[in-house]
Amino acid sequence: MVVTFAPVTMTTEVKSAEMHHEALSEVLPGDNVGFNVKNVSVKNVWRSNVASDNKNDTPMEADGFTAQVIILNHPGQISAGYTPVRDCHTAHIACKVAELKEKIECRSGKKLEDGPKFLKSSDALIVDVVPGKPKCVEIFSDYPPLGRFAICDMRQTVAVGVIKAVDKKAAGAGKG
């Protein structure tokens, strides 16, 4: 099978795959596996890369994404510009909250306020996020393992969320 890795945008052929030292004939979305690929150095592929069949919904680097977030435990206020570490699949990357779009009711998702200035513990919100480094994420409803995340700050989990929309980087676009 030929696969494409994101966010590095590298395509190669998989020779074999395994999980917990047992050979696999098929790998499913969300599986954390090891595999042997042709003509690719271990230095070119790293933890948090996403591999996909290159003929079926190829993964791409995200320029940014819109997420629904619930703040669990933060001692202060969160505003635009907040840049915590986000753990999404195996990626552990600082991401900037670019915009607080709307405050919502936690259970129903009903809009409570447009463009809030700040948020605090127990608030739920829709935010626009920009990753600090190349990152591949997907919409939660399409690929749940690649679309949920935890936000860590001050050595604790301060919020959790799911990705609602992704702005994917154009194929072949470099850092500008």
160 pLDDT higher than 80: yes
Among 112-116, 117-121, 128-132, 169-173, the minimum mean pLDDT is found in 169-173
pTM, full prediction? 0.82
Quick check: helix, strand or coil at residue 55? coil
- CATH 2.40.30.10 for domain 2-53, yes or no, is yes
Alpha-carbon distances of 169 from 53, 63, 87, rounded to whole Å:
19, 5, 20
Joined together, the tokens standing for residue 159 give: 């919020």
The domain limits of the chain are 2-53, 61-168
Residue 172, pLDDT score: 54
Joined together, the tokens standing for residue 106 give: 């936690």
Same fold, 2-53 and 61-168: yes
103 pLDDT higher than 80: yes
List the beta bridge partners of residue 85: 94, 152
Domain boundaries 61-168, CATH class: mainly beta
